[in-house]
Amino acid sequence: MDKGILFVQDSSSFLTNAIISTLEKNDFKCGTVSFNVDELSANVDRYDCIFINIEKDSAFHHTPELVYLKDQACFNDKKCMIMGMPNDIDDCMEILTEASIIAKFERPINTRDVVDKITSTFEDVVENLNRKTILVVDDSGTFLHAIRTWLDPVYKVIMVNSATNAISYLATNTPDLILLDYEMPVCSGPKLLEMIRADAVTAAIPVIFLTSKGDRESVQKVLDLHPQGYLLKTITRPEMLKGLEDFFKKYDEDHPTEQSFDALGVLENLF
């Protein structure tokens, strides 16, 4: 695959020029654009990673662009990184959220540390190409961040925080599984499941509900909707990985033309 990185910044600096020069010597394709939604939309599809270089006290001047980049990270699985002073990064994170950023570089920092992290990120991108894709739909940013931390080593994880964003993603993408929060506001999990099942394009996508209620009556309400399963939000990371591994094992057995996937094998190879 091409190793493309799009640098988003107000102006070039000695540090970013040095980073770009070093990356290009290592066969990366680098581009630069200013903080402008039109420029971003015209260029972002040509690159695999987005590097946000934020200048001092400029975060809230770039709110539309940061919102656009957050959507790119969540909907299109763009790998986003950010560099700046700690307080400026914090300001950006109020818009971007932790779930949309895979690396932060706090100034002062040296070129080699940045290049090494970018290189390792692209190794992860290549490794993720043949992994199952899981769309996680939940209105809690904290929960989304936790789930991404748990699942990223094994699966390709896409996260959205509302039914509207989920439908937008599903309009152009077909994940292997949807983990769906049962108790979302505005448009609940059951309502979104109904919408998914009503569309011929998405009807066959398996759905597992996420629920915080484990009593018999609540679980029965979930199961009455006929999802492929449910997981309690109090579940531990090993239990979740085992539950997903069991699901995909059975799914691959029921769909023998599909390529099987050994999630636990992937996880073991990381250690």
pLDDT (tens digit per residue) in 84-142: 999 999 999 999 877 778 889 999 999 999 999 888 877 766 566 568 899 999 998 88
Q: Is the dihedral of CA 20, 149, 151, 190 positive or negative?
A: negative
Q: Answer yes or no: same fold for 4-127 and 130-268.
A: yes
Distance between start and end Cα atoms, the chain:
25
Tell me the sheet residues that pair with 106: 84
Q: Are 101 and 80 contacting, i.e. CB atoms less than 8 angstroms apart?
A: yes
pLDDT digits (tens, 9 = 90+) for 197-251: 899 999 999 999 888 776 677 667 777 778 888 888 888 999 999 999 999 988 8
pTM to 2 decimal places: 0.58
Range with the poorest average pLDDT among 26-35, 82-91, 184-193, 259-268: 259-268
| Domain boundary assignment for the chain | 4-127, 130-268
CA 103 to chain CA mean position, Å:
13
Q: Could you tell me the fold of the domain covering 4-127?
A: Rossmann fold (3.40.50)
Quote the crossing angle between the two packed helices 111-128 and 14-25, to the nearest 10°: 50
- Supply 213's token pair: 């209620």
Q: Are 125 and 1 contacting, i.e. CB atoms less than 8 angstroms apart?
A: yes
- Alpha-carbon span 178 to 240, nearest angstrom: 14
Tell me the sheet residues that pair with 208: 179, 229
pLDDT digits (tens, 9 = 90+) for 47-76: 888 999 999 999 999 999 999 998 888 777
CATH superfamily of 130-268: Response regulator (3.40.50.2300)
- Alpha-carbon span 239 to 56, nearest angstrom: 43
Given a cut of 90, is residue 176 above it in pLDDT?
Answer: yes
CA atoms within 13 A on the CB side of 31: 17
